[in-house]
Structure 1
């Protein structure tokens, strides 16, 4: 008969992944003539579990380098864009002990500009930003393991060589000390008889 035992352990109990493309409209102070470049920096985010979803909230800065005044001047326009992504979780194990779970987030694709154009009115930028996240939920779950009883104990090698070395070293030191005292005493006796 098999002996089975339940063990409570921490494991990845759910995962989720989501790629998002968001369109943002930015209005610079000057009427743009053309876009010379666009880049995204300063990405910050946090995550929390809400039901069977993970909400990733964050923000990033979009910088648009553009020409204006009929291509005679250039400037960089910066705007901070907030966002909130809801990522659905897929559970492999429904046997969850409690709801005090850890959420780990991995950024598969940092926010990145994939398209930047001037709108038809000619006064705004239409920017398309892509981003992708992978989330994992770590929680307590139960696993069943097979237990095999130990029928023998592994042999232990108790080596007493070190104790014997220390004992012989102590005996040698004692013998040398006695011999040294005997020689000193004999030398003193010889000196007194000489006088």
Structure 2
């Protein structure tokens, strides 16, 4: 088999040039306005994030979420919800990175695999604060311009397309099956 340059074309396209994934557990300490007696519930809402390429082999995801803790105080006679906005920055290493990208302009797509979620919420050892364990997970893709080579058929002739069995002419039998007055019928 002989490689002839005229039999190949180079196509410039956008493609996934890098991929990475990271699971993170974080601990946050929240100070409610009253000394907590017990934790009644904890949930995480309002997750926002954005991603950008940080270096040749890393993506940085910056985000925030609200932690809401429902707790009782005053010897379990009253309740209150404390809300705290938490920010984070995750550095995600790229496990796959193609060095054949044409330029340094990249788009980064970050997808949440595990939304920030409360694993554990407990009263801290001294009893004044609440400790919350949170998990989250991201997958990132780096998209850049790259060049691919494709082999073309040197024997291809644009007139050959008509000869590949794509005959759209109506036969007399097909024409006789057409109902001419179907538009006049009413249901």
Structure (1 or 2) with the larger CA radius of gyration: 1
1:148-187 equivalences in 2 (<5 Å): 148-152=153-157, 153-154=159-160, 155=162
Encode CA deviations 1:94-136: one digit per residue, 9 max, x unaligned: 1110011110111001100000010110011110000000000
More helix by share: 1
Q: Deviation of residue 92 (structure 1)?
A: 4.5
Find the aligned partners of 1:131 and 1:150 in 2 and give their Cα distance: 55
Which residue is 1:82 aligned to?
Answer: 87
Q: Deviation of residue 49 (structure 1)?
A: 0.6
SS at the partner of 2:142? strand
- Aligned residue pairs total 159
Matched, 1:20 2:8: no
Which residue is 2:44 aligned to?
Answer: 40
Relative to the length of structure 2, the TM-score reads: 0.80
Q: Which moved more, 1:20-29 or 1:82-91?
A: 82-91
SS at the partner of 1:70? coil
Which runs of 5 or more structure 1 residues have no equivalent in the other structure?
160-195
Which residue is 2:135 aligned to?
Answer: 130
Which residue is 2:104 aligned to?
Answer: 99
